[in-house]
Amino acid sequence: MAKFHSYYVLCPLIDQKSFLGVTENRENENIIVTLGRNVVNKYRLSDQKQIAGWTSKDHITSAIIYDKEKQCYAGIFNKNTIKMWTSEEDNLDKLKKYKFSANISKLIPFVNGSNKTSIIIFENGNCASLTYGIDNRKTFEVKSFIKDTDTLVDVIAYSVKNKDYICHVVKNQKGRYEIINCPLRDELGDLEMAKLNRVKVTRTEQQFVVGYLLSSHNYQVYFLCKCVFIRSAVWPLRNDSKMTAYNLLSKSWNTVGTVPWINTQSGVSLAWMGESHLILFGSNLDQDGAIIVAYNTVLGVGSCRYPMKMYTEGAKLYCFNGRIILEASNHIGMLPYILETDRNLSSLLGSHDITLDNSTEIADWDSPVELLFKVNDDLRDLLKVGISERSICAQTIPQLLENNDFRIVFRTIKEFTDIPESILILVLKYSINIINPDNIDVMNEELFTNLCQCKKDSKKEVIMSKARFELLNYVLQISFSDALIIPYIKNSLTLDEVLFLMTYIGYLLMESDKIFHYESKLYDWCALLIDSFYQQYVMTNDVKVAYVLEKTRAVVTNLTEKLYSINSIMPSLNKLVNGKPVSEPKDKTSYSIEILKI
b/e burial code for range 346-358 (CB count within 10 A of at least 16 → b): ebbeebbeeeeee
Q: Judge whether residue 515 has pLDDT over 70.
A: no
* Segment among 48-57, 239-248, 277-286 with least mean pLDDT: 239-248
Q: Is the confidence at residue 228, as pLDDT, over 50?
A: no
Average pLDDT over residues 295-314: 86
Measured CA distances, 241 to 40, 214, 289, 293, 363 (Å): 36, 18, 18, 13, 30
Higher-pLDDT residue of 270 and 212 is 270
In this prediction, residues 353-363 reach a mean pLDDT of 50
Q: What is the mean pLDDT of the chain?
A: 81
SS3 548: helix
The domain segmentation of the chain, as residue ranges, is: 420-558
Q: Quick one: pLDDT at residue 136?
A: 86
Sorting pLDDT into bands at 50, 70 and 90, what band is 222? very low
Look at residue 363 in the predicted model and tell me its pLDDT.
Answer: 52
What's phi and psi for 212, nearest 5 deg? Answer: -155, 160
Is 225's pLDDT higher than 50?
A: no
Q: What is the pLDDT of residue 361?
A: 53
With a pLDDT cut of 70, the percent of the chain lying above it is: 83
Q: What's the rounded mean pLDDT across residues 347-372?
A: 49
The DSSP code for 348 is G
Nearest residue to 452 (alpha-carbon basis) of 401, 496, 475, 462 = 462
The answer to whether the beta carbons of residues 312 and 296 sit under 8 Å apart is no
What pLDDT does 188 receive? 77
pLDDT digits (tens, 9 = 90+) for 518-569: 788 888 888 889 888 888 888 888 888 899 899 889 988 988 888 888 888 8
pLDDT per residue as tens digits for the range 74-101? 999 999 999 999 988 888 998 999 999 8
The pTM score is: 0.57
In percent, how much of the chain has pLDDT > 90?
18
Phi-psi region of 428 (alpha: psi -120 to 50; beta: other; left: phi over 0): alpha
pLDDT tens-digit series, residues 391-441: 888 888 888 888 888 888 898 888 888 888 999 999 999 999 998 877 788
- The answer, yes or no, to whether residue 353 has pLDDT greater than 50, is no
**pLDDT reading at 329 higher than 80:** yes
pLDDT tier for residue 355 given thresholds of 50, 70 and 90: very low
pLDDT for 342 equals 53
The pLDDT assigned to 371 comes to 44
Per residue in 136-159, pLDDT (tens digit) is: 888 877 778 888 888 888 888 888
Q: CA of 498: how far to CAs of 420, 447, 502, in Å?
A: 20, 18, 6
Catalogue the E-assigned strands of 25-176: 30-34, 39-44, 49-55, 65-67, 72-77, 81-85, 98-99, 104-108, 119-122, 127-129, 151-160, 163-171
